[in-house]
Amino acid sequence: MIIGQDQHHPPLSLGEHDIEYVDNFTYLGSNISSTRNVEKDVRTRIGKAAGVFQRLRNIWSSNAITTAIKLRLYMSVVIPTATYACETWMKTASITNMLDVFHRRCLRTILKISWRDHITNAEVMRRTGVALLSDMVSDRRRRLAGHVLRLPRERPASVAMDWVPEGGKRKRGRPKKTWRHTFKEDLNEMGVSWHGARRVASDRCRWRGFVAQCSNRNGRN
């Protein structure tokens, strides 16, 4: 199975089997798309996490289980389902909204807070003491970036980080946002250059400090 947008590709085969060209497919639980449609993957993960959350509804409604234990269970079971392979997601306003809306809805259920109670989202986050789901995803993306930046320069992932296409023409309209664009935005927010990021990433401890600094800048404790 090969993914791609080129409609005029030559037929390929492996032995007696023809290799199918597709627009998207699921690999290890993640949706791979020729159009880099990360939103579809995010919606899939949120749907799976919502299913897990719903199956635990008896726990969330129980008065015999403390809120602290419920939150620990939520963070150890539901959140990993929602954030599987999230390190590869780009950041857009739409994706951020999808993640945080789902997250806050779950937290309101755990706290038994109805929208009719007129309690703000900020207060919900304060009471639980957990980070926004979009911030958790950003942290994991930055940690992945650190691993990639430490790779030898000849490794494919490292080459992809620095690759600049030569020649050719870009399609009209606004270019699609990529993972690399998102990471560059992270660096710009912290006033760190691309080469500076490589220097910092070469030291794991310094990079962990950089990730923590980014989190604090987003208003987390």
Alpha carbon distances (Å) from 36 to 4, 16, 20, 78: 10, 31, 19, 25
Q: What is the pLDDT of residue 111?
A: 97
The more confident residue out of 52 and 168 is 52
Query: What residues have CB less than 8 Å from 144, skipping those under 6 apart?
Result: 87, 88
Q: What is the pLDDT of residue 1?
A: 45
What is the Cα gyration radius of the chain?
21
> For residue 164, which amino acid is it?
V
Query: What residues have CB less than 8 Å from 48, skipping those under 6 apart?
Result: 81, 82
8 Å CB contact between 128 and 111: yes
Q: What is the distance between the alpha carbons of residues 138 and 161, in angstroms, rounded to a whole number?
A: 17
pLDDT tens figures, 87-145: 888 888 999 999 999 999 999 999 999 888 999 999 999 999 999 999 999 999 989 88
Q: What is the distance between the alpha carbons of residues 20 and 2, in angstroms, rounded to a whole number?
A: 6
Q: Outline where the chain has alpha helix (H).
A: 38-55, 57-60, 67-73, 79-82, 93-111, 121-128, 133-150, 156-162, 179-190, 194-201, 204-217
Q: What is the distance between the alpha carbons of residues 10 and 7, in angstroms, rounded to a whole number?
A: 9
Query: Is residue 39 scored above 70 in pLDDT?
Result: yes
**DSSP structure class, residue 220:** -
Q: What is the pLDDT of residue 52?
A: 97
**What is the pTM assigned to this prediction?**
0.78
**DSSP structure class, residue 37:** -
Degrees (nearest 5) of the Cα angle 211, 180, 172?
Answer: 150
Picking from 218, 213, 215, 219, the residue whose alpha carbon sits closest to that of residue 200 is 213
Query: Is residue 67 scored above 70 in pLDDT?
Result: yes
Q: What is the distance between the alpha carbons of residues 11 and 34, in angstroms, rounded to a whole number?
A: 18
Mean pLDDT over the full length of the chain: 83
Q: What is the pLDDT of residue 99?
A: 97
- In 10 A of CB 99, how many CB atoms? 25
Q: What is the distance between the alpha carbons of residues 105 and 194, in angstroms, rounded to a whole number?
A: 37
> For residue 12, which amino acid is it?
L
